[in-house]
Structure 1
Amino acid sequence: MTLDLIARRNALRFPHKPAIVFGERSQTWLELDGRVDRVANALRACGFARGEFVAILLSNCPEFIELYLGIARAGLVALPLNYRLTPAELAQILGHARPSLLVVGAEFVDTARELETLLPGLQQPWMVGGGTLAGAKRYEQAVQDAAAGPLDSPAGEDDTFAVFFTSGTTGLPKGAMVSHRNLEANAFNQFVADGSRGDDINLVSTPLYHMGAVFMGVTYMMLGCTQVIIERFEPAAWLTAVRRHRVTVALLVPTMINAAVNHADLAVSPLSSLRLVFYGGGPMPPAVLQRALDRLRCGFTQGYGLTETLEATFLVAADHVPDGSAQQQKRLASAGREAVGAEVRVVGADGRDVATGEVGEVLVRSHSVISGYWGMPDETAKALRDGWFHTGDLGYLDDERYLFLVDRLKDMVVSGGVNIYTKEVESVLYDHPAILEAAVVGLPDDEWGEVVTAAVVLRPGMSASTGELIEHCRRSLASYKKPRAVVFLDELPKNPSGKILKRELRRLLGSGAGVAWRGVA
């Protein structure tokens, strides 16, 4: 099916059930389906051909979901944009994809004006909310003026639903072409992993331009569940939303979980409605997971995958046993086992499967894997070989096929000819009581090639010296793995999804520009 049918089916099954809640605004499934028809009719009235792109530059809001589904019903393709990118970076993406229309939020009017200068051929946008932009059409007016009659999407389930440009944590963004079938297949995998229920209430706090919020939303919308949206994650606002709306499920990345469990408000009142936190999008340090299990007191599911693969493995709630056997506690550091509809291999440089416990590159094959990158045949051929997607992640499988990720190929530090996996060092740093956040990178060194460098953020009111942290690592790691340098920062660079940007961190540490250097070993 095409994903716009989610609204159509739920309007028939649950017409008066809330579909979207955003602040004081609420839409039923019947109302949402009607809005999706109007959005689709408004887009068709523009004369766009099937498969053309509609770019979206919005913060989280109900209009974002209306657009995703309306674009699909019109037979077009959504192009969600990362609003944290500079106008020049956005222009690079828009120049590559050439959308037929840009829908922009009032908060991004200045960005839209710069884009008009950088891309003079860009059609005048639709505006959501207030603000003024010469020649722009009001989104709400376009919707109200459109025909209200229902229509069917001309798209097929294998057609592209949206092109998601990767976050660019290790290189230039590439546009992953995600089909309707990719997201539907992922939803069935997640139903099994999460034990999803029709009465769940999903809290959307990660950016809706990002795959995480989209696949989580699609999964729970397919069951007719209410979506509670907050504009952006902030720990106090997230805790308030869970309590106010009796939220049962939510997706968070590890840095968000860390912020929530360390917020003083959590100790005041528990989150009694919360059934499950789904996490992924970056390494989860075991110490952070233990704190989350203790303080949130709900089930947890971890999903491992990329924008290009969606969820390939799951560490389900039954695997989260904080006081279990030594093996169970070790597996808390894993990414779980293959999804019901996915296959995972770990291969060496020769492309052959490595032995159990041996590190290699992780490969994925499933109906959730994309068909390729938009307009990048060489990158597609490099990533997709013989039906397997090459993730660029390093990991190993244990004897029961639990997947343990050790690093990104591009993040691994090679010092003195020896491979050092940064995730291992980060996990030890998170065990120190004064550490709030930590990231490890390799910096160039004339003698060793690269040296292990740790960037850390301390907990408020706590202190730690460079020597103390290096000695802490020395007690748990082989001496060659310990950081040679420790840099104390006020914050780590992250994208809006909360993922630590190691490429940016390497740039900052290498240049020293704008960095609060408070101590170096």
Structure 2
Amino acid sequence: MNVAEWLARSGRKYPGHPALFSGAQQIADYRGFAQNAAAIGAGLREHHSVKPGDRVAIFAKNTPAYLEAMFGAWFAGAAIVPINAKLHPKEAAYIIANSCASVVFCTAPLGAELTGALAQPMPVLIDLAGVDFEALRQSQPLAAHVAREGSDMAWLFYTSGTTGRPKGVMISHANMQAMVFSYLADVDAVHASDAALYAAPLSHGAGLYCLQHVLKAARHVVPLSGGFDPDEIFALARSLGDIHMFAAPTMVKRLVASARELGETGEGIRTIVYGGGPMYLADIVEAVEVLGPRFCQIYGQGESPMTITALDRASVADRTHPRWRERLASVGTAQSCVEVRIVDDAGNVMATGETGEILVRGTPVMSGYWRDPDATAAALRDGWLWTGDMGALDADGFLTLKDRSKDVIISGGTNIYPREVEEALLTHPGVREVSVVGVPDAEWGESILAFVVTDLDAPPDAAELDQHCLGSIARFKRPKVYRFVSELPKNNYGKVLKTELRRVFADEQAGS
């Protein structure tokens, strides 16, 4: 079933329910939301030859039109390629080319920046605030969305690997439906009176969470800022009430700090789902103390989006269980649509409490990586997704993350992969070798530390390397700290020992 069916149903059953908001101002009810999406779908088919299974990319900041474009593409039978608006235009251009997207929805100034990075033949660029998008809205709406099978791709999400270029994770309509059912069963209820607040990027988990709110004919609110601003969030919550939002741990930390400073209690906020990175135990304890029992936690990956484990509101708020601290430091128990196990390198199931790699299988798990059979075979084995994350299950089924076998750095809830930062730095003529690691950061969860071996004939400084990075990678991927060293520690095979680099940093911190 095409997930666009849920919007079509809500448009018929609840036509007058408020749907889309820009800040506190309603701009569409469900009849209008559904009709606009059906019209955009028709326009994509008639004017841009979008066929079922084609890819439509969105490289845009949060706006209500983002949701219309997304459902419009689904009405046309296309698959969405969501692209983080913080990416460098060269990075976005690679994703667009690799996915073979024929149409790209964008917002200013991203569209103009993208134009110079795209190769020929150019896809069609449509500004979500421009006349071309308005023309799509004015098309004669499709009488019905294009039928799709559950196995057909709906969401092609690019997640960087530890080697090579980003990989496209193929998420089907059935995968997304299972994600919605798991949310309603394991995370939180959704009612028509609720409002999904999109303070986190719609290109990631926050965008996927629009589906359960469409299914229940709830409201969709995009802050006027288009992003995360604690003062704005508190004001919208008081004005609109029953707010739901997804937030990375660093966002929760900033929200709590602002609440303490301003004396806010979280009035109007019903649920904050946190995930996307490690949450320190002290931080979530403080969050509940300041804002009350409004928090739920999820753990997932792009390959099983938002759907591996969950810690519900009662578990996050519980202070009576004898092991409540251990449970609160976990990422919860397996969600209803999946199985989770811990294995050793050979795939043998580990005993309770032992640490190994986390495996997951179930309906939400991806079908594979886009046009990458080798990566698919490595990640999906005997029906199980090998997550690359390390963890342990306790006797009650609570999963605690221990480490990541992959070297991904999670900063502010966003995945950053050392290889792409290293490759950017290595293009500087004064850099001979480099190794990038993630180190603990009280505000962002992790920050990026680069160990650099320079060419003694032309040694660059940190400011020069910082500026150099801006030429090829997103601003948020730049190292926060540089360490200039004479050599990198390596094993007998010449592989850099990143564990040793982290130890060096830890020793420095202990010494200070």
TM-score higher than 0.5 here? yes
What is the aligned partner in structure 1 of residue 422 from structure 2? none
Post-superposition offset of 1:172: 3.7
| Aligned-residue identity in percent | 30
What is the aligned partner in structure 2 of residue 72 from structure 1? 74
Post-superposition offset of 1:168: 5.7
Give ranges in structure 1 of 5+ residues lacking alignment: 131-136, 413-421, 427-438, 442-449, 460-499
Structure 1 residue 189 corresponds to structure 2 residue 182: yes
What is the aligned partner in structure 1 of residue 482 from structure 2? 509
Q: 1:330 to 1:104 in 2, by over 3 A?
A: same
| Deviation per residue, 1:92-125 (Å, 9 max, x gap) | 212211111122212313313213xx41211341
| Deviation per residue, 1:36-63 (Å, 9 max, x gap) | 1100100110223321111111111111
What is the aligned partner in structure 1 of residue 287 from structure 2? 292
What is the aligned partner in structure 1 of residue 32 from structure 2? 31
What is the aligned partner in structure 2 of residue 9 from structure 1? 9
Rounded to whole Å, the distance in 2 between the matches of 1:113 and 1:181 is: 34
Q: 1:266 to 1:39 in 2, by over 3 A?
A: farther
Post-superposition offset of 1:290: 0.7
Rounded to whole Å, the distance in 2 between the matches of 1:268 and 1:327 is: 31
Query: What is the letter of the counterpart of residue 368 of structure 1?
Result: P
Post-superposition offset of 1:241: 2.1
What is the aligned partner in structure 2 of residue 467 from structure 1? none
Structure 1 residue 123 corresponds to structure 2 residue 104: no
Q: CA RMSD in A?
A: 3.1
Q: Secondary structure at the match of 1:255?
A: helix
Matching residue within 374, 380, 384 for 2:380: 384
| Deviation per residue, 1:272-303 (Å, 9 max, x gap) | 22222111101110011011101111332111
Deviates more, 1:233-242 or 1:353-362: 233-242
Rounded to whole Å, the distance in 2 between the matches of 1:373 and 1:275 is: 36
Query: What is the letter of the counterpart of residue 133 of structure 2?
Result: Y
- Aligned partners of 2:265 and 2:291 also within 8 Å: yes
What is the aligned partner in structure 2 of residue 150 from structure 1? 143
What is the aligned partner in structure 1 of residue 101 from structure 2? 99
Q: Secondary structure at the match of 2:93?
A: helix
What is the aligned partner in structure 1 of residue 206 from structure 2? 213
What is the aligned partner in structure 2 of residue 112 from structure 1? 114
Query: What is the letter of the counterpart of residue 386 of structure 2?
Result: H
Post-superposition offset of 1:410: 2.6
Q: Secondary structure at the match of 1:125?
A: strand
Residues 206-245 of structure 1 correspond to what in structure 2 (within 5 A)? 206-210=200-204, 212-230=205-223, 231-245=226-240
Q: Secondary structure at the match of 2:368?
A: coil
Q: Secondary structure at the match of 1:369?
A: coil
| Deviation per residue, 1:116-137 (Å, 9 max, x gap) | xx4121134122225xxxxxx6
What is the aligned partner in structure 2 of residue 429 from structure 1? none
Post-superposition offset of 1:195: 3.6
What is the aligned partner in structure 1 of residue 133 from structure 2? 139
What is the aligned partner in structure 2 of residue 348 from structure 1? 344
Query: What is the letter of the counterpart of residue 30 of structure 1?
Result: R
Structure 1 residue 21 corresponds to structure 2 residue 4: no
Q: Secondary structure at the match of 1:345?
A: strand
Q: 1:335 to 1:171 in 2, by over 3 A?
A: farther
Query: What is the letter of the counterpart of residue 65 of structure 1?
Result: L
| Deviation per residue, 1:312-353 (Å, 9 max, x gap) | 111111212453344112110001111111100100011110
Residues 354-503 of structure 1 correspond to what in structure 2 (within 5 A)? 354-411=350-407, 454=439, 456=441
Rounded to whole Å, the distance in 2 between the matches of 1:174 and 1:453 is: 21
Rounded to whole Å, the distance in 1 between the matches of 2:51 and 2:114 is: 24
Query: What is the letter of the counterpart of residue 509 of structure 1?
Result: Y
- Aligned partners of 1:321 and 1:328 also within 8 Å: no
Deviates more, 1:238-247 or 1:73-82: 238-247
Query: What is the letter of the counterpart of residue 362 of structure 2?
Result: S
Q: 1:275 to 1:453 in 2, by over 3 A?
A: closer
Rounded to whole Å, the distance in 2 between the matches of 1:457 and 1:337 is: 26
Post-superposition offset of 1:395: 0.1
- Aligned partners of 2:40 and 2:141 also within 8 Å: no
Rounded to whole Å, the distance in 2 between the matches of 1:458 and 1:43 is: 43
Q: Secondary structure at the match of 1:320?
A: helix
Query: What is the letter of the counterpart of residue 176 of structure 2?
Result: L
Query: What is the letter of the counterpart of residue 2 of structure 2?
Result: T
Q: 1:187 to 1:511 in 2, by over 3 A?
A: farther
Deviates more, 1:57-66 or 1:267-276: 267-276
Number of residues of Structure 1 aligned to a counterpart in Structure 2: 435
- Aligned partners of 1:104 and 1:112 also within 8 Å: no
Q: 1:122 to 1:169 in 2, by over 3 A?
A: same
Residues 258-277 of structure 1 correspond to what in structure 2 (within 5 A)? 258-263=253-258, 267-277=262-272
What is the aligned partner in structure 1 of residue 274 from structure 2? 279
Rounded to whole Å, the distance in 2 between the matches of 1:458 and 1:335 is: 20
